[in-house]
Chain A
Amino acid sequence: MTSPTVPNADAPTSRGWWKENQQRLAPWLFLAPGIFMFLVYVIIPIFQSINISFYDWDGLGEATWVGTGNYVELMDDDAFYTSLKNNVIWLVLYMLAIPMGLFVALFLNQTVRGIRIYKSLFFFPFVISQVVVGLVFAWFYDPSYGLLNIALGWFGIDPIAVLADERYVTYGIIAAGLWPQTAYCMILYLTGLNAVDPEQIEAARLDNAKGVKMLWYVILPQLRPATFIAIVVTVIGALRSFDLISIMTDGGPWGSSRVLAFYMYEQAFSEYGFRMGYGAAIAVVLFLIMMVYIVGFLWKMYRDEKGR
């Protein structure tokens, strides 16, 4: 690299040159490894995937250009609509983790003895792998000996094979996902509640505010940062749902519990031959849905940065 400065009469030593320019160069030096890795493994692959989605490709042989062919095929693909519909169900129902997490946090926000241990134990489901969560719930739902059906039996209800029934399967998996997600939201709210201004609460108490009213008008506005993060992580969690579906049902019965993330994987690596192009097209659709949230998030961050 050459120095952009005008050659000096008393040629500066390399150390002098570095001293003069280091403030300008240092950030790029520090950024280089991170940017390089991120470009190679994240940014460039996004564009490669978009490109692949215009080809018919089995991952090994020659790729044939099909233009928008994959997308046209998607329009007529029932499995695609099932996946899309399930994604919407996931998005909507996963949001329940937020009020549930708030509820648990309010329940635990006390100072009785041993409460710290309780808080950590309540957080447990988030720490363990979704593979384990999936196995545990698959077992919980088992029609012949699962606890759910034993419990239903007490009320005289016939066993329901949750994971084998097209009507219930997606809801069953979402319920399993809500368990760790609620724990996550709970911890966000517990931290948020810690930072709530006690003086405002006292002032509101003097004004006779209490219970739900207090929560709604005084506490929740102060919890806004926690709620924001909770929404962000929950949306992302919902759109990324893959592990639980793969573990609990493998997309079944008859593909009825697929979501886009899972359907994409299935198409790209299916046992009936790899359809990389078609899979990539599904991934692009999922990416575009996620982009709406990413842009929204960046927009809020941009405003916050400018506000500083």
Chain B
Amino acid sequence: MFPTPIEKKSAAVQAVYKVALPIALVVWLLPLIAVALTSVRSAGDITAGNYWGWPTEFHLLENYTAIFKQTPIGQYILNSFKVTIPTVIGAVAISCMTGFALAVYKFKGNLLIFFMFIAGNFVPFQILMVPVRDLTLDLGMYNTWYGLALFHIAFQAGFCTLFMRNFIKALPFELIEAARVEGISEIRIFWYVVLPLMKPAIAALSVLIFTFIWNDYFWATVLTQGADNQPITAGLYSLNGQWVAAWHLVSAGSIVAALPPVLMFFLMQRHFIAGLTLGAVK
């Protein structure tokens, strides 16, 4: 292990490390801690300029009820779910199939199609913006959750295919060959042999895509407008414009917006990290 395990160092070094660890954490997360604290401050604290000290009163319920009552933040959150969940299902379903096709079969153009997915995944969004917006308008899907979700499914297919293809490639190929010898059809091989083995990859990809799409801001502003259909990221931006100097409300809104992906991360941590670091170790 590198660096040298701390247990092998002197007691003094160990003690320093154990003190340094929480301090480093507090410094690292200071902006977030400040936001969390401010989200429970009273309006009085804000006007008095008490932004960074300890709150004089705790207004947890007041502030959080206020943002739900006075603003459409509940609707924004709902819109986010309406875009994110179908995208996760769609992108994962599509890429299970494309990944399977590209990993298992040898055919002309295999690598070319694979590279098309990878290259597309890295393209800057801006070059897609004008045509995708037009297409969505033409389809009558502008400012709807499904218009946004359809685009996300298509775009995420690039990354997801890369991910799934490499995962399936690492599975033992003998399993598929054995099934073929038994005379099992290709579709059944996919469904009964390969898909059950892909569960960890599906879990990892689902959490990752959930986070990516939940946090998307650019496409939310390009393909939707107004509180009825905009997801929380775009909503937070417009609320920030309305809440000038009401930092306790901005903070509470930020915390609410950050909560779903944070919860997702904590519940599915192992899968999340496995997904993110795919390829980081040989």
Residues 94-135 of chain B, each 1 if its beta carbon lies under 8 Å from chain A, else 0: 110110111011010011010111111011111111111011
Residues 1-24 of chain B, each 1 if its beta carbon lies under 8 Å from chain A, else 0: 111111100000000011001001
* Bound CA span A125–B117, Å: 28
30-51 of chain B: CB within 8 A of chain A: 30-32, 34-35, 49, 51
B222 / chain A contacts, CB cutoff of 8 Å: 265
Query: Is A26's beta carbon under 8 Å from chain B?
Result: yes
* Bound CA span A286–B125, Å: 10
Residues 17-45 of chain A, each 1 if its beta carbon lies under 8 Å from chain B, else 0: 01100111011111101110110111111
* Stretch of A67-75, A160-168, A191-199 with 4 or more beta carbons under 8 angstroms from chain B: A191-199
* Bound CA span A110–B237, Å: 40
* Bound CA span A26–B61, Å: 57
Residues 257-296 of chain A, each 1 if its beta carbon lies under 8 Å from chain B, else 0: 0001100110010000000100110111011001001100
Query: Is B66's beta carbon under 8 Å from chain A?
Result: no
Query: Is B269's beta carbon under 8 Å from chain A?
Result: yes
Query: Is B153's beta carbon under 8 Å from chain A?
Result: yes
Query: Is B140's beta carbon under 8 Å from chain A?
Result: no
* Bound CA span A302–B132, Å: 30
Tell me the minimal C-beta distance from B51 to chain A in angstroms: 5
* Bound CA span A264–B150, Å: 23
Tell me the minimal C-beta distance from B95 to chain A in angstroms: 7
* Contact between B128 and A45, CB atoms less than 8 A apart: yes
Tell me the minimal C-beta distance from B80 to chain A in angstroms: 10
Tell me the minimal C-beta distance from A269 to chain B in angstroms: 8
* Contact between A145 and B51, CB atoms less than 8 A apart: yes
Q: A34-B161, A46-B127, A110-B17 are in contact. Are A130 and B32 (CB under 8 A)?
A: no
Nearest A-chain residue to B95, judged by Cβ: A34
* Bound CA span A4–B44, Å: 80
* Contact between A130 and B129, CB atoms less than 8 A apart: no
* Contact between B280 and A127, CB atoms less than 8 A apart: no
A-B contact count (CB 8 A): 292
* Bound CA span A127–B257, Å: 11
* Contact between B126 and A265, CB atoms less than 8 A apart: yes
B30 / chain A contacts, CB cutoff of 8 Å: 147
Q: A49-B127, A52-B130 are in contact. Are A30 and B237 (CB under 8 A)?
A: no
Residues 233-257 of chain A, each 1 if its beta carbon lies under 8 Å from chain B, else 0: 0001001101100110000000000
B155 / chain A contacts, CB cutoff of 8 Å: 41-42
A261 / chain B contacts, CB cutoff of 8 Å: 124-126
* Bound CA span A90–B95, Å: 32
Tell me the minimal C-beta distance from B214 to chain A in angstroms: 7
* Contact between A22 and B2, CB atoms less than 8 A apart: no
* Contact between B135 and A225, CB atoms less than 8 A apart: no
Nearest B-chain residue to A214, judged by Cβ: B2
Query: Is A128's beta carbon under 8 Å from chain B?
Result: yes
Tell me the minimal C-beta distance from B210 to chain A in angstroms: 10
Query: Is A112's beta carbon under 8 Å from chain B?
Result: yes
* Contact between B265 and A120, CB atoms less than 8 A apart: yes
Q: A38-B120, A261-B126 are in contact. Are A109 and B1 (CB under 8 A)?
A: yes
Q: A26-B105, A131-B257 are in contact. Are A145 and B237 (CB under 8 A)?
A: no
* Bound CA span A262–B208, Å: 25
Q: Which of A22, A26, A226, A290 is in CB contact (< 8 Å) with B123? A: A290
* Bound CA span A192–B277, Å: 9
Query: Is B52's beta carbon under 8 Å from chain A?
Result: yes
* Contact between B277 and A242, CB atoms less than 8 A apart: no
Query: Is B282's beta carbon under 8 Å from chain A?
Result: yes
* Contact between B157 and A201, CB atoms less than 8 A apart: no
A124 / chain B contacts, CB cutoff of 8 Å: 29, 32, 262
* Stretch of B67-75, B183-191, B198-206 with 4 or more beta carbons under 8 angstroms from chain A: B183-191
Nearest B-chain residue to A41, judged by Cβ: B154
Nearest B-chain residue to A260, judged by Cβ: B126
* Contact between B215 and A128, CB atoms less than 8 A apart: yes
Q: Which of A42, A109, A132 is in CB contact (< 8 Å) with B2? A: A109
Q: A31-B97, A127-B261, A290-B124 are in contact. Are A226 and B281 (CB under 8 A)?
A: yes
Q: Which of A23, A29, A129 is in CB contact (< 8 Å) with B215? A: A129
Nearest A-chain residue to B276, judged by Cβ: A187
Q: A26-B101, A136-B31 are in contact. Are A283 and B282 (CB under 8 A)?
A: no
* Contact between A147 and B34, CB atoms less than 8 A apart: yes
Q: Which of A33, A43, A49 is in CB contact (< 8 Å) with B97? A: A33
* Bound CA span A73–B102, Å: 44
* Contact between A121 and B25, CB atoms less than 8 A apart: yes
188-233 of chain B: CB within 8 A of chain A: 190, 211, 214-215, 217-218, 221-222, 232-233
Most A Cβ at <10 Å: residue of B51, B129, B132, B273 = B129
What would be 6 A-B contacts, judged by CB atoms less than 8 Å apart?
A27-B102, A31-B102, A41-B128, A41-B132, A279-B130, A283-B126
Closest 8 CB pairs of A and B: A41-B154, A45-B131, A34-B98, A30-B101, A26-B186, A37-B154, A191-B277, A48-B131
